[in-house]
Structure 1
Amino acid sequence: MPRIDIEAVPIRTGSIYPEPYASMMKGRSSRRLGAAGGLTQFGVNLVTLEPGAVASLRHAHEREDEFAWVLEGELVLVEDTGETIMHPGDCAAWPCGTGLHHRFENRSAAPARFLVVGTASPDERVSYAEHDFVILREGGETRFLHRDGSPWSGPR
Structure 2
Amino acid sequence: MPKLTIEPISASRGSDYPPPFADAVSGRLVRRLSAAAGLEDFVATHVVVPPGGWSSQRHWHEGEDEIVVLLSGTATLVDDAGEHAMSAGEVAVFRKGDANAHHIRNTGDTPCVLFAVSLPERSTVHYPDIAMRWSPDDGYTQA
Which range, TM-score by smaller chain? over 0.9
Aligned partners of 1:133 and 1:7: how far apart in 2? 33
My pick for the range that moved more, 126-135 or 19-28, is 19-28
Q: Which residue of 2 aligns with 1:125?
A: 124
Q: Which residue of 2 aligns with 1:97?
A: 97
Q: Which residue of 1 aligns with 2:80?
A: 80
Q: Secondary structure at the match of 1:76?
A: strand
Question: Residue 23 of structure 1: CA displacement?
Answer: 2.2
Q: How does 1:5-154 map to 2 (within 5 A)?
A: 5-121=5-121, 123-138=122-137, 143-147=139-143
The share of aligned pairs that are identical, in percent, is 34
**Residues 127, 133 of structure 1: 8 Å contact kept:** yes
My pick for the range that moved more, 55-64 or 5-14, is 5-14
Question: Residue 100 of structure 1: CA displacement?
Answer: 1.1
Aligned partners of 2:94 and 2:107: how far apart in 1? 22
Aligned partners of 1:41 and 1:16: how far apart in 2? 23
**Residues 27, 51 of structure 1: 8 Å contact kept:** no
Aligned partners of 1:118 and 1:39: how far apart in 2? 12
Q: TM-score, normalised by structure 1?
A: 0.87
Select the structure with the greater relative contact order (CA < 8 A; seq sep ≥ 6).
2
What is the total number of aligned residue pairs between the two structures?
A: 143
Q: TM-score, normalised by structure 2?
A: 0.95
Aligned partners of 1:129 and 1:146: how far apart in 2? 10
- Deviation per CA, 1:108-156: give whole Å up to 9, x if none: 11111010101114x2101112111100114xxx521111xxxxxxxxx
- Deviation per CA, 1:75-95: give whole Å up to 9, x if none: 100000111100111001101
**Residues 15, 26 of structure 2: 8 Å contact kept:** no
Greater C-alpha Rg: 1
Question: Residue 24 of structure 1: CA displacement?
Answer: 2.3
**One-letter code of the match for 2:125?**
V
Which blocks of at least 5 consecutive residues in structure 2 are unaligned? none
**One-letter code of the match for 1:118?**
S
Aligned partners of 1:7 and 1:14: how far apart in 2? 17
